[in-house]
Structure 1
Amino acid sequence: MAYRTVNQILKSHPSSDGDGVRIQRVHGFENPHFSPFLMIDELKSLSPDDYIGGFPPHPHRGIETLTYMLSGHFQHKDHLGNTGELRDGGAQWMSAGKGIVHSEMPMMSNEQLHGFQIWINLPASKKMQEPQYHDFQSDVIIEKQLSDNNLIRVIAGDLTIHGETLAGPLQQTGVPLTVADWQADNNEQIQACLNPDFQAMLYVYQGEITVDGLSVQQGQLALLSNGESLAITSHGHCGVLLLAGTPIDEPVVHYGPFVMNSMDEINQAVEDYQNGTFV
């Protein structure tokens, strides 16, 4: 059985979005080994000044977003009438499809804010489908306590851990994928089996891990080799996002909130939005 190893390490970098919300970002729009994912934004703050403006109404086309909050709340509103407020440990999924206009407002819980928004590409055949939205509070996220200090949470897709398959609440996405959160204390281990056709990566949001003896530290993202199995060891208290999915072998053209397959399609999205025919 082939174990996955680390092919490349990318560092997150400070950025801002929306109305000045401070984030740590890793993007892979031009990196085929990132697919089907496009970008990971980490929101982490102890000061409301870092995010108080939130993300006022803005459009999207051609992507899905998955938002996951470790601590804090995240309010969603869109032009379809969908509303939702994530609480600690919850997640929300939105497929923009042919077009959606939404706003997002992060809020602290217990004087903390820590969460992630993951952009996921849509294949050309689904970029103009009808938009969709679902949220999942913490109590429906699938958890497995592997030991007193070793917890896996499966948010999307299926993940086989130590021979047991866990199915997350989010199953119907534009491409087959798995998203999970591993939290562990020092010198804990996890062994996972992944679909060998999936590309996979690990984002370390706390502490340090090793994969096949190679260190991956807080704020770094490791792109993994192909294989059926993955073994990770924690060093200190750690938190890791595992993202895996079917790569999309199509051109990626990105302009602001739009991700399409050609510049003509981007221009059409901009024109539709400006003319009021976007949705």
Structure 2
Amino acid sequence: MAIRHVKQLIRSHPSADGDGVKIQRVAGFDNPVFSPFLMIDELKSTSADDYIGGFPPHPHRGIETLTYMLNGHFQHKDHMGNVGELRDGGAQWMSAGRGVIHSEMPIMTAGQLHGFQIWINLPAAKKMQPADYADFQPEMITEHALNDNSLIRVIAGDLTIRGTTLTGPLQKTGVATTIADWHASRGEVLTSCLNPDFQALIYVYRGEAEIKGVSIDAGTLAVLDHGEGIEVSAKQDTGLLLLSGLPLNEPVVHYGPFVMNSLEEIEQAITDYQNGQFV
């Protein structure tokens, strides 16, 4: 099996969104090696002042979002009447399609808030489909203990490890994706098969990982080259996200909460929202 190497390392950077929520962000709207992913936001705080304003009602078109919480709750409300609140370890998926207006409110538990929001691009043929939503509480996430010191949680798609295929609860993303979370003690190794046609990204959020001699510190995204699998070593007690998906190879035009294929489509999204056509 051809093991993938690190092609590029990208450090997350401090940013803010919503009502001043502090985040660490890695954005790849203009980077084709990200596709089908667009952005990874990490929310991590022990101070309510960093996120208390949350994300008041705002629109989206043309993307999907996956929110995954390690620690803390996350409340979602949208114009379709969906209301959901995650617990620690749960995930929320939303497909904006042709238009959605939603709000999101992070809530600390036991003095901790730590989670992620991943933006996934929709292919052109699906950007104007109806909006959709689903949430997955922690007990719904597929977990597999590799041993006493290594745990993989599969949120979306399928992941094959040591001949066992693990299927996550989220299977209806607009483009084929696999998203998983690996927790491991120092010295543990994760070896997995991946679809060779899929792009693969590794985001380390705790500790330090290594892929084929390249170290990846916490807060760093590794873009991998093509191959049939990955082999990741934990150099410390480590947590990381594995993101793999089928590249879209389509134009990306991004303006605020809208991601379309042309400037004309962005302008139409703005007009439709202003005219109340998202509800």
Cα distance in 1 between the residues matched to 2:244 and 2:64: 15
- Tell me, yes or no, if the aligned pair for 1:269 and 1:278 is still in contact at 8 Å: no
1:193-232 matched pairs, under 5 angstroms: 193-232=193-232
Q: Quote the residue 1:189 is aligned against.
A: 189
Q: Give the partner amino acid of 2:69.
A: M
Q: Quote the residue 2:48 is aligned against.
A: 48
Cα distance in 2 between the residues matched to 1:172 and 1:55: 25
Q: Secondary structure at the match of 2:32?
A: coil
Deviations 1:93-114 (A, max 9, x none): 0000000000000000111000
Q: Give the partner amino acid of 2:107.
A: M
Cα distance in 2 between the residues matched to 1:267 and 1:132: 23
- Tell me, yes or no, if the aligned pair for 2:65 and 2:120 is still in contact at 8 Å: yes
Aligned residues: 279
Q: Give the deviation of 1:77 after TM superposition.
A: 0.1
Unaligned runs of 5+ in 1: none
Q: Quote the residue 1:64 is aligned against.
A: 64
Q: Give the deviation of 1:2 after TM superposition.
A: 0.9
Cα distance in 2 between the residues matched to 1:49 and 1:105: 13
Q: Quote the residue 1:132 is aligned against.
A: 132
Q: Quote the residue 1:75 is aligned against.
A: 75
Question: Does residue 20 in structure 1 map to residue 32 in structure 2?
Answer: no
Q: Quote the residue 1:241 is aligned against.
A: 241
Q: Give the deviation of 1:84 after TM superposition.
A: 0.2
Cα distance in 2 between the residues matched to 1:241 and 1:162: 19
Deviations 1:189-237 (A, max 9, x none): 1100001110000000001010011111100000001011110100111
- Tell me, yes or no, if the aligned pair for 2:101 and 2:278 is still in contact at 8 Å: no
Q: Give the deviation of 1:162 after TM superposition.
A: 1.5
Q: Quote the residue 1:146 is aligned against.
A: 146
Cα distance in 1 between the residues matched to 2:176 and 2:42: 23
Question: Does residue 87 in structure 1 map to residue 87 in structure 2?
Answer: yes
1:2-17 matched pairs, under 5 angstroms: 2-17=2-17
Identity, % of aligned positions: 69
Cα distance in 2 between the residues matched to 1:69 and 1:156: 14
Q: Secondary structure at the match of 2:237?
A: strand
Q: Using structure 1 for the length normalisation, give the TM-score.
A: 0.99
Q: Quote the residue 2:275 is aligned against.
A: 275
Cα distance in 1 between the residues matched to 2:205 and 2:137: 21
Q: Give the partner amino acid of 1:253.
A: V
Q: Quote the residue 1:101 is aligned against.
A: 101
Cα distance in 2 between the residues matched to 1:276 and 1:130: 16
Q: Give the partner amino acid of 2:156.
A: A
Q: Give the deviation of 1:278 after TM superposition.
A: 2.8
Cα distance in 2 between the residues matched to 1:134 and 1:243: 19
Deviations 1:137-176 (A, max 9, x none): 0001000111111000000000001211000000111000
Q: Give the partner amino acid of 1:139.
A: E
The RMSD of aligned alpha carbons is 0.5
Q: Give the deviation of 1:82 after TM superposition.
A: 0.3
Cα distance in 1 between the residues matched to 2:132 and 2:275: 23
Cα distance in 2 between the residues matched to 1:236 and 1:11: 19
